[in-house]
Amino acid sequence: MERDEEKGGELVRIDQGKIRAELGELVRGTVEETLNGLLEAEAASLCQANRYERRDERKDTRAGHYTRKLDTQAGQVTLKVPKLRSLPFETAIIRRYQRRESSVEEALIEMYLAGVSVRRVEDITQALWGTRVSPSTVSRLNQKIYERMET
């Protein structure tokens, strides 16, 4: 934000691009924090104890975590998926091997069905979500929709 003195009055200039970028990062960070909190709560529920908590009812202990990326409408987030020592950790939040939120996949399919070329879809995804989607991914998603339509 800049201030200019013109004929005794003040003029305030706002850089809307910068504000959008800051708000976008704030939303992306909030989504990431929320998803990671949900993963932690789910692991605590399975173990029947929070991290580092000693309880007689405890069913398992933590074995660290691994990171994975997930593309969301707010941008790419990094998830810290908990690992447990003996119980399998199958989260209900995201499917195994899922790399994109379902609404992102739906948007890709809609773009293609609207006649947007695969190359253009790549450019649009780069601009919107900061990650480029490969042509094979777009083709695979479209194959799924064609199979559903035939059924």
Residues 145/102, Cβ–Cβ less than 8 Å: no
Residue 129: is its pLDDT beyond 80? no
pLDDT at 83: 87
pLDDT for 95-119, tens place per residue? Answer: 776 676 766 667 777 777 778 787 7
d(CA 125, CA 101): 13
pLDDT given for residue 80 in this prediction: 92
Q: Are 112 and 142 in contact (CB under 8 A)?
A: yes
pLDDT (tens digit per residue) in 32-90: 888 888 888 888 888 887 777 788 888 888 888 989 888 887 788 899 988 888 888 87
Q: Is the pLDDT of residue 4 over 70?
A: no
pLDDT at residue 94 tops 80: no
The secondary element (H helix, E strand) that includes residue 74 is none
What's this model's pTM, rounded to 2 decimal places? 0.59
Residue 143 has pLDDT above 80, yes or no: no
Cβ–Cβ under 8 Å, residues 60 and 84: yes
CB 28 within 8 A of CB 75: yes
Distance CA 44, CA 59 (A): 10
DSSP designation for 54: -
Q: Which residues lie closer than 8 Å to 143 by C-beta, 6 or more apart?
A: none
